[in-house]
Structure 1
């Protein structure tokens, strides 16, 4: 069974890299967006197992975004990922899902 992971970040280039990394593993389906509106739309339309918050999201926006996500999917796990390579990413995701 695939785990669907939604990555939300503000940097387009990093979002492209995250998309590649998340979709490189057959057990993961990565969806990567740069806006909160896209993220909320995806959360309304699809089952998502984990949300990764990336770089560039201001503390104020993060607070609102977390609140909006939890209102839609109260049980969803949300973690922050600011970079550090695919090994760190894998570890963060596996810890969150475990």
Structure 2
């Protein structure tokens, strides 16, 4: 089953690492964004199966971002990703789906 996963984080280096990890798996298409505007634009153009919220997103930003993502894709799953390596990332994604 092919999954399209969007990671949203504020740190460009971490975002690049997560992008590499997501796209290393044949069954995943990984997309990344460092800003809410960029993330919402991606969601408006593509069907997203899972959103990972990464580091640096403030609580107030997260609430608004979740609301807007669900408006675009009502059935999208949204989870936190706090880092910790490829094994943890894989486990979080598999638990969410």
Specify the TM-score bucket, using the shorter chain as the normaliser. Answer: over 0.9
CA distance in 2, matches of 1:48, 1:69: 10
- Tell me what 1:67 maps to: 67
Give the gaps of 5 or more residues in structure 1: none
Establish whether residue 6 from structure 1 lines up as the match of residue 6 from structure 2: yes
Contact map agreement 2:47 2:73 (CA 8 A) in 1 = no
CA distance in 2, matches of 1:47, 1:21: 20
TM-score normalized by structure 2? 0.98
What is the number of equivalent residue pairs in this alignment?
Answer: 97
Equivalent residue of 1:25, what SS? coil
TM-score normalized by structure 1? 0.97
The root-mean-square deviation of aligned C-alpha atoms, in Å, is 0.6
CA distance in 1, matches of 2:64, 2:53: 13
Give the gaps of 5 or more residues in structure 2: none
Runs (4 or more) in structure 1 with deviation over 4 Å come to none
